[in-house]
């Protein structure tokens, strides 16, 4: 019997019996259900106060999409599943059963129970969850999903925050500005960090008759003000992006370790003097920021020199609970990798620091942070969630053994 037929029958039984994962807090999620509503940042009405959490805060799960996950990248998926075990739940979104089947087989071949892995149906275009996924904010009543405009050629990705709000029965805030998630990072206390790409993506043209004295300054002030309002930020720090780095995202060279501690990449000044200087200036700028009346602590972490336009970033990580997952490529110098791992172990004592080999994805110009989205502990689960084991038990052993 074809594997997709097996999963189709199982899926029908699960729906018929409402066999959702018993470990999920479904009762809590039910109590949080409200009518989905939207508002825009251009409205003059008062927005609901929100708090966008830091990624170092407690997590309910890490989200991944396998919407266009290619078979030769399955080792990346299995590494993530293996190394998140015992640390944080992993919720994998899939489009259909045909797509789900090979992922289940790949995970089954690890031979591990993977009791922390769950699946939920949600149609998406790509695997780059960080860029289009909802920003999940805490409110006095629970959780709110923020929807920024996304890439127009990927309609299902752009719709994902709306789909998520419906699937989890949380209210939604629509923001008529655009930003990719990897280019907007928060410390959980009203501080946001982005790069100058945010001005390129939200370029404002003024009619000639109302042209201000300094159009560039005015448009930057407008964009900054609108994002601060939409995200309830007290400060939005805008940094220089790396040169010859295609995304221009801040997560390629920066991550928060705590509300008052930020980690910034550091490059060899002899091998890449221009980008080394950019990172030094960004670190200096962040050193001028205060959090709760005290200077923001800025630490540095070594990064490999770029390979053309391909970068190996040690800040583009998955951070969840006590786990830090670093991306690596086979071209990474062993001494730089060892020094970077030691940096996390020194600056984040008590956390487990692991690596995931993303060599197969190197040409895609993305890394672990780009692939994932953090689901904070205050965010409810989607209504339809299935355990890995419920699918795994339906796969004949001969299929798993037929590598």
* Pairing relationship of beta strands 142-149 and 117-121 according to DSSP bridges: unpaired
Q: Give the tens place of pLDDT for each residue, 110-160.
A: 999 999 999 999 999 999 999 999 999 999 999 999 999 987 789 999 999
Q: Residue 207: is its pLDDT beyond 80?
A: no
List the structure tokens of 58: 């407690």
Band of the pLDDT at 205, cuts 50, 70, 90?
A: confident
Alpha helices (runs of H) in 45-95, residue ranges in sequence order: 74-84
Beta-carbon contacts of residue 283 (< 8 Å; ≥ 6 apart): 264, 266, 298, 300
pTM of the model: 0.88
Residue 159, pLDDT score? 93
Q: Give the tens place of pLDDT for each residue, 9-43.
A: 555 554 443 333 333 333 323 333 223 333 333 44
100/394 Cα distance (integer angstroms): 13
Using H for helix, E for strand and C for coil, what is the string for 206-247?
A: CCHHHCCCCHHHHHHHHHHHHHHHHHCCCEEEEECCCCCCCC
Q: Which fold has domain 3-401?
A: 3.75.10
Contact of 175 with 146, CB cutoff 8 Å: yes
Rounded to an integer, the average pLDDT of 67-83 is 93
74/92 Cα distance (integer angstroms): 13
Residue 48, pLDDT score? 87
Residue 372, pLDDT score? 96
CA distances from 156 to 153, 187, 218, 397 (A): 9, 29, 34, 35
Q: Give the tens place of pLDDT for each residue, 337-375.
A: 999 999 999 999 999 999 999 998 888 878 999 999 999
Q: Give the tens place of pLDDT for each residue, 287-314.
A: 999 999 999 999 999 999 998 888 999 9
């Amino acid at each position: 019997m074809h594997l997709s037929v097996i999963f189709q029958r199982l899926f029908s039984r699960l729906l018929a019996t409402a066999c959702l994962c018993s470990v999920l807090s479904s009762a809590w999620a039910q109590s949080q259900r409200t009518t989905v509503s939207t508002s825009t940042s251009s409205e003059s009405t008062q927005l609901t106060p929100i708090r966008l959490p830091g990624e170092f805060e407690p997590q309910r799960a890490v989200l991944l999409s396998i919407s266009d996950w290619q078979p030769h990248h399955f080792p990346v998926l299995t590494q993530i599943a293996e190394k998140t075990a015992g640390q944080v739940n992993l919720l994998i979104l899939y489009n259909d059963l045909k797509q789900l089947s090979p992922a289940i087989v790949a995970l089954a071949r690890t031979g591990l129970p993977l009791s922390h892995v769950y699946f939920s149906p949600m149609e998406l275009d790509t695997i780059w969850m960080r860029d289009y996924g909802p920003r999940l904010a805490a409110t006095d009543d629970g959780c709110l999903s923020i929807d920024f405009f996304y890439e127009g050629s990927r309609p299902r990705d752009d719709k994902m925050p709306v789909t998520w709000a419906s699937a989890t029965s949380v209210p939604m805030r629509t923001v008529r500005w655009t930003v990719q998630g990897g280019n907007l990072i928060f410390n959980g206390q009203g501080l946001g960090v982005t790069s100058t790409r945010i001005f390129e993506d939200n370029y404002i043209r003024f009619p000639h008759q109302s042209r201000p004295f300094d159009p560039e300054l005015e448009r930057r002030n407008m964009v900054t003000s609108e994002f601060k309002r939409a995200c309830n930020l007290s400060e939005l720090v805008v940094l220089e992006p790396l040169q010859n780095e295609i995304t221009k995202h801040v997560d390629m060279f920066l991550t928060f370790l705590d509300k008052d501690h930020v980690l910034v990449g550091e490059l060899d000044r002899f091998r890449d003097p221009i980008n080394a200087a950019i990172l030094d200036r960004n670190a200096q700028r962040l050193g001028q920021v205060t959090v709760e009346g005290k200077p923001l602590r800025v630490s540095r972490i070594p990064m490999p020199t770029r390979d053309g336009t391909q970068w190996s970033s040690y800040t583009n990580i998955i951070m969840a609970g006590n786990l830090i997952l670093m991306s690596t490529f086979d071209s990474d110098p062993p001494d730089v990798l060892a020094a970077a791992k030691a940096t996390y172990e020194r600056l984040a004592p008590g956390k487990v620091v692991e690596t995931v080999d993303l060599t197969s994805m190197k040409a895609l110009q993305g890394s672990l942070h780009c692939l994932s989205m953090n689901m904070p502990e205050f965010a409810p689960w989607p209504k339809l969630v299935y355990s890995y084991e419920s699918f795994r038990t339906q796969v004949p052993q001969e299929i798993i053994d037929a590598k």
